[in-house]
Amino acid sequence: MTSTTPATRAFAIDKAHSEVTFQVRHLVTRVRGRFSDYDGTIEYDEADPTQSTVNVRIQAASIDTGDAQRDAHLRSADFFGADEHEAITFVSSRITRTGSDDFQVAGNLTIHGVTRPVVLEAEFLGKAKDPWGNEKLGFEAQVTLNRKDYGLTWNAALETGGFLVGDEVKVSLSIQAAAK
């Protein structure tokens, strides 16, 4: 665990102004969805953002694709097993600057009880105070995952060849965080 420096401040994800979304190929199109229940903390070092840390927890059962039957299947043991594996977590291990406001955020992602290293491509969108004087930070990040790497292997073969659900899942985060 990294100790915080005097320049480091804690920020909590503001769910009212953030989103965690994904898309995956289904047959011939892409299905999009989101998670509605998540929280997290960013220990932000303004003097040296590469010394910051990120910790996010997403409730697997909060998946929402706009179709109740599909969402129930995604919560089942065929996919997330949300009863047994309640949370999807990400804990950063290293942040590397790749541009003036661009970073690679490396860390461990746990889905369905499987932990693997990933690297998120992130952009710092800025810092501001809202009309009530609350300090906020903004970030966007993306990562593409192979769902099978996390034990999400259910699929159905198609008569014409191929499979119903693609392996590649594109995950996007748009995060606004408020100073604690």
The structure tokens 């109740």 sit at 68
Confidence check: pLDDT of 2 > 60: no
What is the architecture of the domain spanning 8-179?
A: Beta Barrel (2.40)
0.85 surpassed by pTM: yes
Q: Which residues pair with 135 in a beta bridge?
A: 129
Confidence check: pLDDT of 3 > 60: no
pLDDT of residue 29: 80
Give the least confident one: 21-30, 52-61, 106-115, 133-142.
21-30
For residues 149-159, give the mean pLDDT: 85
DSSP H/E element including 69 = helix 68-75
Who contacts 113 (Cβ-Cβ below 8 Å, separation ≥6)? 81, 84, 85, 151
For residues 152-179, give the mean pLDDT: 88
Mean pLDDT (the chain, rounded): 93
Strands (E), the chain: 8-13, 19-26, 29-35, 38-45, 53-59, 63-64, 87-97, 102-111, 114-129, 135-146, 165-179
**Residue 82 in contact with residue 61, Cβ under 8 Å?**
yes
